[in-house]
Structure 1
Amino acid sequence: MVENVPGEQVAARRPGRGRRPAAQVRAAVLAAAGRILLRDGLPAVTFDRVAAEAGASKTTLYKWWPSPGALAAEAYFAQSRRTLEFPDTGDVRADLISQLGAFVRWLKEEGAEKPVSELVGAAQLDPDLERAWSESYAQPRRELARERLRIAQRQGQVREDADLDVIVDQLWGACYHRLLVLKVPFDESIVESLVDHALYGSAPRDAAR
């Protein structure tokens, strides 16, 4: 995505205030799109509405994002970033429970369940949204989880031969499966069990492999 376009005036103009820096305009647009997405859902995220709420030029939005879906995906990432930060307290089990718990609360209590379902569904038909969702959110978040698990491996808290991608799939994939495929209720009460099964398995502790 283009952050700054040399020679072009990309900042929005407000009466009596002159032009805002491009970074400030971009932040305002993402904040506005995130509010609309969480409040009213993906169909409400249009360039017209976001530009009006952000006080930005619609032309600027067209320059920076290939589609409203791509904007919505990046806005979702910006909104969720602080909520879904990955802790490192030195205890990988506690950190996984903390982060996965924050993710479930974000979905079920803080308004992200419907927008996430809409974004993932729309991404199956919108290549721009699919690319933005993967590049701006899904892959970066997956790498954060892998890196925390790599640290745990070096500290001896996770087996050296553990498949970190499988652990990630077991944890966050279980939530997405319940949300998008099974469409069954779930809440934070599943988090500790998910983490323990991912880290320790379901076989008896003294069973031979």
Structure 2
Amino acid sequence: MDAVSTSLGEEHAQPRPGRGRRPSAEVRAEILASAAGLLFAEGLGAVTFDRVSAESGASRTTLHKWWPTRGALAAEAYFASVKRDLDFVDTGDIESDVRTQLHAFARLMTVEPAGRAVRELIGAAQTDPALRAAFVEAYSRPRRQEAVEVLAVAKSRGQIRQDVSLEILVDQLWGACYHRLLLLDEPLDDRLVDEFVSNAFAGARPR
């Protein structure tokens, strides 16, 4: 976080009795946790500055300084909440590691409240430029880049052909999952994920 944001957060954070003002990072984390709780429990419509302010104890001024719209706040809260669930493992077997991550992703999207939340966020992003920018910057672009970096390590180990575009491979795998979730509204389970992974790596493995 930059110095300006830190200053703003310290200026508008609500003091705790006997403890002075809270650090900016603590205020931001509590705001995001409160927003995520509302998003997952009640949906995007529940994430308003009034309710998040009441839940977190941060002032509305702080929220407006850090996030231009409630949608932008909801998008960052979503990413902060699910990031750990979507981390990659590194066992040395890229096909197995991608399969493990995609299993976790599929469960998050189909079993956990995060699935409904991300569909709401993507839908609302079509008419809320601030939400769209926040979703891209805080979630979709970092997730895509992380996957590309994991695949790049596998390519350096000789597990993926040198002429394979890693960005296209990411789009093939995660894009197929989003396609089923958002456009087709059809089941996404471990069996189907395994088929996606097997098909993609059949073409990506060294011959």
> Please, what TM-score do these two structures have when normalized by structure 2?
0.92
The aligned residue for residue 34 of structure 2 is 32
Matched residue of 1:4: which SS? Answer: helix
Please list, as runs of the form range in 1=range in 2, the aligned pairs for 1:177-196 lying within 5 A after superposition: 177-196=179-198
8 A Cα contact 1:3 1:23, kept in partner:
no
Shift of 1:201: 3.7
Structure 2 stretches lacking a partner, 5+ long: none
8 A Cα contact 2:10 2:21, kept in partner:
no
Q: Partner amino acid for 2:31?
A: V
Please list, as runs of the form range in 1=range in 2, the aligned pairs for 1:1-209 lying within 5 A after superposition: 3-5=5-7, 9-201=11-203
8 A Cα contact 1:47 1:61, kept in partner:
yes
Matched residue of 1:87: which SS? Answer: coil
How far apart, in 1, do the equivalents of 2:29 and 2:10 lie? 18
C-alpha change, 1:195 and 1:106, in structure 2 (3 Å) is same
How far apart, in 1, do the equivalents of 2:187 and 2:89 lie? 27
8 A Cα contact 1:10 1:22, kept in partner:
no
How far apart, in 2, do the equivalents of 1:114 and 1:6 lie? 33
Shift of 1:56: 1.1
Instruction: Answer with 95-104 or 185-194: which moved more.
Output: 185-194
Structure 1 stretches lacking a partner, 5+ long: none
C-alpha change, 1:6 and 1:83, in structure 2 (3 Å) is closer
How far apart, in 1, do the equivalents of 2:9 and 2:27 lie? 17
User: Which structure has the highest helix share of the two?
Assistant: 2
Q: Partner amino acid for 1:50?
A: V
Which 4+ residue blocks in structure 1 deviate beyond 6 angstroms?
none
How far apart, in 1, do the equivalents of 2:150 and 2:9 lie? 42
> Please, what TM-score do these two structures have when normalized by structure 1?
0.92
Shift of 1:107: 1.0
Q: Partner amino acid for 1:140?
A: P
Percent pairwise identity = 55
How far apart, in 1, do the equivalents of 2:8 and 2:114 lie? 36
C-alpha change, 1:3 and 1:98, in structure 2 (3 Å) is farther
How far apart, in 2, do the equivalents of 1:174 and 1:86 lie? 19
8 A Cα contact 1:142 1:168, kept in partner:
yes
Shift of 1:16: 4.6
CA distances 1:160-180 after superposition (whole Å, capped 9, x unpaired): 001111111111111110111
8 A Cα contact 2:10 2:23, kept in partner:
no
Q: Partner amino acid for 1:123?
A: A
8 A Cα contact 1:11 1:22, kept in partner:
yes
